[in-house]
Every structure is written in structure tokens, then in C-alpha cells.
Amino acid sequence: MDRRTFLNSSLAAAAGLGGATPQASAADKGDEPASGARPGNPIGVSTYSFWRFLPDSKLSMEECIDQAAGMGFDAVEILEMQMTKKDDATLQSLKRRAWLNGLCFNGLSTHQGFVSPDADERKKNVDKTVASIELAYKLGIPTMRVNTGRWGTTKSFDELMKDRGVEEPLKGYTDEDAFPWVIEALKKCLPAAEKAGVTLCLENHWGLARTPEGLRRIVEAVDSPWLRVLMDTGNFLEDPYDKLKKVAPLTAFVQAKTYYGGGIWYTLELDYERIAGILRAQKYRGYISLEFEGKEDWRTAVPKSLAVLRKAFRTKA
């Protein structure tokens, strides 16, 4: 057999005599897109997943970054309450550490409270939120979690969780009084957010955003591209899927809860294939950020959670 005949015969055999190439076969099986495109939503992890407010589990930011990289995450979401130092040198060192590990910071999770009849108290929380926006800017973070805050009539968070997140207003007030306070306060945060390029994402957390209707009411009233929804998959405690579907059109960031070992406050059996379908219907291509909130050791629970999310949020053929 001469060289040309040998080459032609070899190429025909490799092509399967007109059949699918090995690359196409892999794509047909759903292993990898034939184009090399990203296989699904990028998956990050909140530093909260390593801490969970447990007294013996508060890893440093540096340790969280290293663990996230070693486990195979794409990004790290920073819980601001977990930061012990915020000087410029520390911030830039953290950013460099993430970059060297092939990670980005995909979110900053903050706390504030605008549900107060005291205008000075609301202004203090606006100023606090603006300071967090500037912190996100220094870290190169494009998204920041914000809350409405709550009345504070339930003194213990454990008690609030026993009451399924429902809290009585201050005497003489109703939730209807509080919606304008929250809307006004968030509007005051927007100039700083726009200047810094940080999209504020209001979470379906406790307070006025506990329901999809309350959450949408605030975001739609503010009416700005710099305020969107943060969908927390674990904060609608009853009938979650219909509620998640209601907020999905405005969602710009997703926190995904898992509860291995049983939840610290409660446990939900969440169908992530179904949740992924809800977001896929809205063409959501953004980050999924793991918030592990169970009692199992994070060393085993966080990698298991990543595997569940990778599988659910793969691009479907």
C-alpha cells in the first residue's frame, strides 16, 4: 500500500466511514459541547458555607479561597461579616490570591436594615451600604447582596426561624408603612452602585422581601437596572418552586442552599434539576453560589454540594 492510499484509508476509518466523529459522539452523550462552549452556569461558593455562624468553623478569607480552588469552584462569594481586615493592602492581597487560584470574586454578601421609622437610622444604614459598595469595587466584585432589614421585634434569630421568618411590626406600624422607607433607602444607594459598577441584588430574605410579591414590589418600584433580585433557593419555606418562578425574571444572582447533616435552622428537600429548569426558562446564564447550611463537616458536604449543582446546572442539549 502506497503512502496516499494508507492515509486515505486511515482517515476514513477515523471518521467511521461517514459516521459520527469521536467528538460528536461525546457531545451526543452530553459529556462536552462539541464547540467547547462552557457546559453550564459557573458555580461559586460563599465563604458562609465554611462558617455558618458556628463558633469553631470560621475560616480566614485566605483559607476559604484556597479551599474553593482545591474543590473545583469557579468563584468565591464573600460574606462581609466574616472579614476581619478591610485595609487596602489586605483587599488587594485577597484579590491576587483568588486570581492566582484561577478564581474570581462573584459577590459580596452584606447586611443592612431599612425597616425603621427613624430616618436617622435608615440614613446610617444607607451610609453603611454605600461603604460596602466601595468595598466591593476595591475587590473587583460586580454584585452585592442587600436586604430590606426587619422590624427587630423578634429578638433572637433562632426564634425568628421557629416562626418561619414571620415577625410582628413595631406597635403602631404595619408593613405598608415600611415599604416606602425601604424603596427610598435603596434609591439613595443607587448612585454609588452605578458609579462603582456594582449591581445590588435584593434577596428573598426575612423582612419585606420574605414573599415574592414583597420582593418584586420593591425592585419594580425602584425601577433601575442597578437593583435586581438575588434568588435564595432556601428562603421560601413553603411551596418554593412557584415562588422561585415568580422572582426568576428579575434574578441576577442565585444562592443555592444545601443541608447535608440536617439544617442548622431547618431543612428543605430542594429539587435542583427543577430549579435549574426555572432559571433556564429565563435564559439565566449567571452564577450559582453555594450556601451550605447543614451540620455535616464542610470538608465533605461542600464537595458533595458542588457535584449536585454541577449536574443540575449543566447546559441541556
53-68: per-residue pLDDT in tens? 887 778 999 999 999 9
pLDDT higher than threshold 50 for residue 10 = no
Residue 58 identity (one-letter amino acid)? K
Residue 23 domain-assigned? no
* pLDDT, position 53: 82
Beta-bridge partners for 253: 230
* pLDDT, position 195: 98
Q: Could you write out the three-class secondary structure of the chain?
A: CCHHHHHHHHHHHHCCCCCCCHHHHHHHCCCCCCCCCCCECCEEEECHHHHCCCCCCCCCHHHHHHHHHHHCCCEEEEEHHHCCCCCHHHHHHHHHHHHHCCCEEEEEECCCCCCCCCHHHHHHHHHHHHHHHHHHHHHCCCEEEECCCCCCCCCCHHHHHHCCCCCCCCCCCCHHHHHHHHHHHHHHHHHHHHHHCCEEEEECCCCCCCCHHHHHHHHHHHCCCCEEEEEECCCCCCCHHHHHHHHHHHEEEEEEEECCCCECCCCCCCCHHHHHHHHHHCCCCCCEEEEECECCCHHHHHHHHHHHHHHHCECCC
Residue 295 domain-assigned? yes
**Residues 149 and 113: beta-carbon distance below 8 Å:** yes
Residue 7 domain-assigned? no
**Residues 226 and 258: beta-carbon distance below 8 Å:** no
Query: What are 187-222's pLDDT values in tens digits?
Result: 999 999 999 999 999 999 888 999 999 999 999 999
φ, ψ (nearest 5 deg) of residue 200 = -80, 135
Give the CATH number for residue 199.
3.20.20.150
| For range 129-138, the mean pLDDT | 98
* pLDDT, position 316: 72
Residue 308 identity (one-letter amino acid)? V
Residue 44 domain-assigned? yes
* pLDDT, position 220: 98
Query: What are 206-264's pLDDT values in tens digits?
Result: 889 999 999 999 999 999 999 999 999 999 999 999 999 999 999 999 999 999 999 98
Residue 272 domain-assigned? yes
Total domains in the fold of the chain: 1
- As a whole number, the mean pLDDT across the chain is 89
* pLDDT, position 7: 38
* pLDDT, position 55: 76
* pLDDT, position 156: 83
In the Cβ-directed half-sphere of 160, how many Cα atoms lie within 13 Å? 16
* pLDDT, position 161: 81
Give the whole-angstrom CA distance, residue 101 versus residue 104: 9
* Residues with Cβ within 8 Å of residue 179, at least 6 apart in sequence: 208, 214, 217, 218, 221
Ramachandran quadrant class, 228 (left: phi over 0; alpha: psi -120 to 50; beta: rest): beta
Give the whole-angstrom CA distance, residue 280 versus residue 265: 29
* pLDDT, position 21: 32
Residue 86 domain-assigned? yes
* pLDDT, position 9: 43
| For range 122-137, the mean pLDDT | 98
Residue 9 domain-assigned? no
Domain containing 176 equals 37-312
pLDDT higher than threshold 60 for residue 5 = no
| For range 257-280, the mean pLDDT | 96
* Residues with Cβ within 8 Å of residue 301, at least 6 apart in sequence: 258, 260, 261, 292, 294
Sign of dihedral through CA atoms 87, 91, 97, 100?
negative
Residue 290 domain-assigned? yes
* Residues with Cβ within 8 Å of residue 111, at least 6 apart in sequence: 80, 81, 147
